[in-house]
Structure 1
Amino acid sequence: MRVLIATVLLLLGFAVPAQAQAGCAVYNGACLEKGANRAWLVFNGKTSYGPVPISHGKPGYETPIGTFSVLRKVKNDWSVPYNGPMPNAVYFTTSGIAFHQGDTSVQSHGCIRLSWNASQVFYDNLAIGEKVQVLP
């Protein structure tokens, strides 16, 4: 029945929100699906941007699953432990995990890598305190 309703809505030109399909419960903020390597922004309960390709933490440096809050943003940051640039960093864990620009074809040390354009959109549109949900 749910598939039939979604099909009818799509045929009538209505978008089915990506967060509902992925199980994201964020009302304002961002969601990401590690298994699908994608992330999107959510505004007022609806997908406002994306989904876009991402990479996440490699084995031994896994990106944690759960719901977090945006803690801080740094336009041009530098990772001291991993000696690398972190443009458009949006931190959402106290252990230093952030969305930032980086090579999406390579796994990270826990951060969420985005393309240059996507990192700018995430940086410009995520506010301190908004929610980030990381799904398996």
Structure 2
Amino acid sequence: MERLVEYVPAKEVGVAACSRRAGPYQRQVERWLKLAVDGKQSAADCAAVRRFQTTHGIHPNTGFAGPATWGTMRLLAARAHPNAAGRCPVRTTRTVCVDLDRQLMWVQTGANVTYGPVAIRSGRPGYATRTGTYPVYWRHKNHWSTIYNAPMPYAQFFSGGQAFHAIYDNIYSVVGSRGCVNLTYSDARRLWGALRKGDPVHIWGRRPGA
């Protein structure tokens, strides 16, 4: 499993002590942990966030409420029933569901989830991942992007140059992709085995901040 790396303020890099700063997802994390929701960091908040980070292998575990911490909570909340809101169409055939709002994806056949949910990284401002329904039209296991001169392992294309593929970067990076749906290497490898050419991909929502 890939290491989960949390972003922390520059002045706190390498500091082992509990973070004194409120993170960008302070309120969401406080709500998840059933703490007083005020958007301010306290010693009790930091200790609770730090325990969560330690339990789920998030480094550094300084109690800073950043994107990796909130993303992990969001993923855990979706695991039991990712399509609870009914945004992804339920078909008798295999369907790939991509939720840009929550930065999650999964595969379902009927109401049965056969893969995921897993965390994704979609398009940054100016490079939005296109919404709608598209077929997987080309798969290339060891693809290399000639446009960006970069590897795209386990690439599965669904709309023009946009594809699912693995990245070697942090999946919770605050910088989005250039339109593709990025996954961790292990998740992309498993998705390669889960899909076939022609499978429909249904995408909705918008990446936060994009």
> Above 0.5 in TM-score?
yes
Q: CA deviation at 1:44?
A: 3.5
Aligned residue pairs, count: 121
1:86 aligns with 2:152: yes
Pair 57,26 (structure 1): closer, same or farther in 2 beyond 3 Å: farther
1:74-129 superposed Cα distances (whole Å, 9 cap, x missing partner)? 00001111111000001001x21000001322411100000111101111111111
| Structure 2 equivalent of residue 21 of structure 1 | 85
User: In the TM superposition, what is the alpha-carbon distance from 1:72 to its structure 2 partner?
Assistant: 1.0
| Residue among 90, 99, 102 paired with 1:36 | 102
User: Could you tell me the percent identity over the aligned residues?
Assistant: 36
Structure with greater Cα Rg:
2
* Structure 1 residue ranges without an equivalent (≥5): 1-14
Confirm whether residue 132 of structure 1 aligns to residue 198 of structure 2: no
Give the distance between the partners of 2:100 and 2:82, measured in 1 at CA: 14
Partner of 2:45: none
Work out which structure has the larger RCO, using CA pairs closer than 8 Å and 6 or more positions apart in sequence: 1
Residue 48 (structure 1) shift: 1.1
CA, structure 1 residues 77+33, in 2 after alignment: closer, same or farther (shift >3 Å)?
Answer: same
Task: Report how far residue 22 of structure 1 moved.
Answer: 4.6
**What pairs with 1:45-60 in structure 2 (closer than 5 Å)?**
45-60=111-126
Which whole-Å CA distance do the structure 1 matches of 2:163 and 2:108 have between them? 17
**2:133 is matched with which residue: 56, 67, 89?**
67
CA RMSD of aligned residues (A): 1.7
Aligned to 2:166: 101
User: In 2, Cα distance between the equivalents of 1:26 and 1:89?
Assistant: 25
Look up the SS of the partner of 1:92 in the other structure.
strand
Could you tell me how far apart the structure 1 residues matched to 2:86 and 2:117 are? 11
Match of 2:189 among 117, 120, 134: 120
TM-score by length of 2: 0.54
Q: Which of the pair is proportionally richer in strand?
A: 1
Task: Normalising by structure 1, report the TM-score.
Answer: 0.82
Cα displacement (A) at 1:17: 4.1
- The residue number in structure 2 matching 1:4 is none
**Contact 1:99–1:111, Cα closer than 8 Å, also in 2:** yes
Q: Distance in 2 between matches of 1:56 and 1:131?
A: 18
Structure 2 unpaired stretches of 5+: 1-78, 206-210
Separation (CA, whole Å) in 1 of partners of 2:156 and 2:96? 11
Q: Deviations over 1:54-83 (max 9, x none)?
A: 000111110011011010110000111111
Distance 2:115 2:82 in 1: 10
Which residue is equivalent to 2:68?
none
Q: Flag the 1:86–1:53 CA change in 2: closer, same or farther, 3 A.
A: same
